[in-house]
Amino acid sequence: QKRKHSEGRVEVYYNGQWGTVCDDDFSIHAAHVVCRELGYVEAKAWTASSSYGKGEGPIWLDNVYCTGREATLAACSSNGWGVTDCKHTEDVGVVCSDKRIPGFKFDNSLVNHIENLNIQVEDIRIRAILSAYRRRMPVTEGYVEVKDGKTWKQICDKHWTAKNSRVVCGMFGFPGEKTYNTKVYKMFAARKKQRYWPFSMDCTGTEAHISSCKLGPQVLLDPVKNVTCENGLPAVVSCVPGQVFSPDGPSRFRKAYKPEDRVSLQQPLVRLRGGANIGEGRVEVLKNGEWGTVCDDKWDLVSASVVCRELGFGSAKEAITGSQLGQGIGPIHLNEIECTGNEKSIIDCKFNAESQGCNHEEDAGVRCNIPAMGFQKKLRLNGGRNPYEGRVEVLVERNGSLVWGTVCGENWGIVEAMVVCRQLGLGFASNAFQETWYWHGNIYANKVVMSGVKCSGTELSLAHCRQDEDVACPQGAVQYGAGVACSETAPDLVLNAEIVQQSTYLEDRPMFMLQCAMEENCLSASAAQTNPTTGYRRLLRFSSQIHNNGQSDFRPKNGRHAWIWHDCHRHYHSMEVFTHYDLLNLNGTKVAEGHKASFCLEDTECEGDIQKNYECANFGEQGITMGCWDVYRHDIDCQWVDITDVPPGDYLFQVVINPNYEVAESDYSNNIMKCRTRYDGHRIWMYNCHIGGSFSEETEKKFEHFSGLINNQLSTR
């Protein structure tokens, strides 16, 4: 079961036949040899017991012993070719690193059942021929060319099929292929003699990559008799880009590529969450109005490619398992998915609706092929201590020429930094800097060329964000140029909505017990006029349990030197604004708010055998470890909303985590929790508590009018 191109069952070619390798005595050193022979820098792991499926044919090698320095697996010591007592249940597999040896052929040999040849494709490209396609990004139409030695060669279209085109288009980030004007290409082909690759490909159309296709028949090439490509033409592909990447906008996309019987443009049935890059993330599907995840049992490149194409990307680069892109919340909708590769949607695939034995540690994800848009070349980081940080410099057109310049750091924030890191392929932003005087960038790029940048966070490039028409940066470019630090991973905080709903109650608390709360300004303004000996405040109290479901620890933005000592709580607080607690009326106007001045972050509990790393006591390090959660109990000071002045009625209770985006997260859409609330002046009911984005828009609207209530009694302490 292949999840990446750089992993799989090891097969060797000997005496005109492919065969497998037995796992007896195999080691990581042997795996290194295999990976280097295939053009990868090193091996990450190896697997025994036919974990990538049982092979066929002979078992060529057994008891393989390598030092790791051999050039080929055949050079390692073994029992000899074909000498073995193994069965195919012992076929060995390897997991290679993604990094390639520079200049090495990047594909596995094409499986060949026709000729006893070991054909490798060094590289493949779509070369635009018509001027209309050469001028636009991305390149969607042109000759299919393969690199053979140092020469690019065309493929004869004699045996070329639409299924081959589908695979090539998928590799280059396009969900589908279409027909093209053959007359124009005949005219071009007649003008110039072509160099042909002497083979074709035989794809089924469901492959994620041409390395999974079979080698097609050899093409008759006889330049002496002037028989070239059997009088055929170079193979051409014309790919259909997804909506986001369409050069002519969304209307053209809808006409050219519309999944049958789906209103997917209005209500997508699948989405990606938690990924650093476009076309990457945890797979979530919509079922009965609620978003849920996919269990990674049987998850492979074919099924992942169906998801990618459904979302308007190409085929899958990687089928990700083990919640590597963070854990989801809510139900696990699909398990043991088995797609043929021809489905229009993941929900059309065969699957097991039962998710017994699955948990969110097994959430499946994808990395999809996306078109080359050239955005990466229009941005750079300069002056940082490593390639992941530096002053942001952008390439813009000024007076007819392209120049590099800086971005004004005024109002620059983590959302803008996220767009920069994604555009450069560097993951998530870990920090956004409004001044970078300590990073000396390129002296020829000191002029401010972009200011007033405001991003929503979903943009493909910084140039797509809103910005000033007239550049203005009064504080100057050199000192106040915007900067970023990027990271491959990020935390992801999610509030447990169920615990909020179950723990909510009212308390009438005497003023003489609220001295600390008064000092910390945790009560509404009218508390100043309340009699300190006989008066009381009505408090809406609740517990909050905040989980870190991401791939790195959540650490406060401020260092220890900026933490604030709170005498009432007897510990330091590291974040001034970590969570907002608000009571809103039904039109969204705030009627009461929590005034918790600041927060201490620590690991209260952790999953499984994960170790706690952070604690508030004894001036300890603060944060929330990935896989752990921080609990603010209902009975601690300021864990409330003062509703003394609120009249009876229907309201919305809202909790927002990390509201100012002070700390980077992989997903901000799940930082809001809302509950419907009914208050009759004596009791309060909290119901329909849920995390933002966990339901469809239609279901969300239904919640506004749902009348099921949970009774939360008033208590007096």
Question: 150-202, pLDDT tens digit by residue?
Answer: 788 889 888 889 999 999 999 999 999 999 888 888 888 777 777 888 888 88
Q: Are strands 11-14 and 17-21 parallel, antiparallel or unpaired?
A: antiparallel
Say if residue 191 is in the same domain as residue 328: no
Structure-token pair, residue 326? 């963070």
Q: Secondary structure of 260-317 in the HEC alphabet?
A: CCCCCCCCCCEEEEECCCCCEEEEEEEECCEEEEEECCCCCHHHHHHHHHHCCCCCEE
Q: How confident is the model at residue 114, as a pLDDT? A: 35
Alpha-carbon Rg for the chain, nearest whole angstrom, is 30
How far apart CA 673 and CA 693 sit, in angstroms, is 9
Say if residue 402 is in the same domain as residue 471: yes
Q: How confident is the model at residue 5, as a pLDDT? A: 66
User: Strand, helix or coil at 408?
Assistant: strand
The residues of the chain scoring below 70 in pLDDT are 1-5, 102-122, 220-228, 230-231, 247-267, 355, 476-478, 566-575, 595-598, 703-717
Q: Could you tell me how far CA 48 lies from the centroid of its own chain?
A: 30
Residue 103 included in any domain: no
Residue 426 included in any domain: yes
Say if residue 219 is in the same domain as residue 297: no
Residue 443 included in any domain: yes
Say if residue 323 is in the same domain as residue 472: no
How far apart CA 499 and CA 357 sit, in angstroms, is 24
Task: Give yes or no for a contact between 704 and 587, defined as CB atoms under 8 angstroms apart.
Answer: no
Say if residue 403 is in the same domain as residue 473: yes
Q: How many CB atoms lie within 10 A of CB 86?
A: 18
Q: Provide the residue range defining the domain that includes 77.
A: 7-96
Say if residue 453 is in the same domain as residue 477: yes
Residue 106 included in any domain: no
Task: Give yes or no for a contact between 316 and 208, defined as CB atoms under 8 angstroms apart.
Answer: yes
Q: Which residue bears the tokens 């097991």?
A: 352
Q: How confident is the model at residue 53, as a pLDDT? A: 85
Cis-peptide into 259, omega within 30 deg: no
Residue 583 included in any domain: yes
**Domain count along the chain:** 5
Say if residue 351 is in the same domain as residue 417: no
Residue 403 included in any domain: yes
Residue 256 included in any domain: no
Dump strand ranges (E) for 408-488: 428-433, 448-450, 483-487
**Minimal CA–CA distance to 325: which of 373, 276, 359, 392?**
276
Last-in-domain residue among 350, 368, 386: 368
Say if residue 539 is in the same domain as residue 399: no
The angle subtended at Cα 527 by Cα 524 and Cα 532, nearest 5°, is: 155
List phi, psi (to 5°) of 284.
Answer: -130, 135
Last-in-domain residue among 214, 243, 272: 243
Last-in-domain residue among 368, 392, 422: 368
Say if residue 218 is in the same domain as residue 286: no
| C-alpha distance from residue 352 to each of 57, 270, 365 (Å) | 32, 17, 18
Say if residue 344 is in the same domain as residue 444: no
Q: How confident is the model at residue 715, as a pLDDT? A: 38
Phi/psi zone of residue 656: left (φ > 0), alpha (ψ -120 to 50 degrees), beta? beta
Contacts of 86 (CB under 8 A, 6+ apart): 22, 23, 24, 59, 62
Q: Kindly report whether the global pTM for this prediction surpasses the value 0.85.
A: no
Residue 109 included in any domain: no
Tell me the CATH number at 424. 3.10.250.10
Torsion 360-362-363-367 (CA) sign: positive
Q: Are strands 124-127 and 59-61 parallel, antiparallel or unpaired?
A: unpaired
Say if residue 559 is in the same domain as residue 700: yes
Say if residue 292 is in the same domain as residue 383: no
How far apart CA 250 and CA 263 sit, in angstroms, is 14
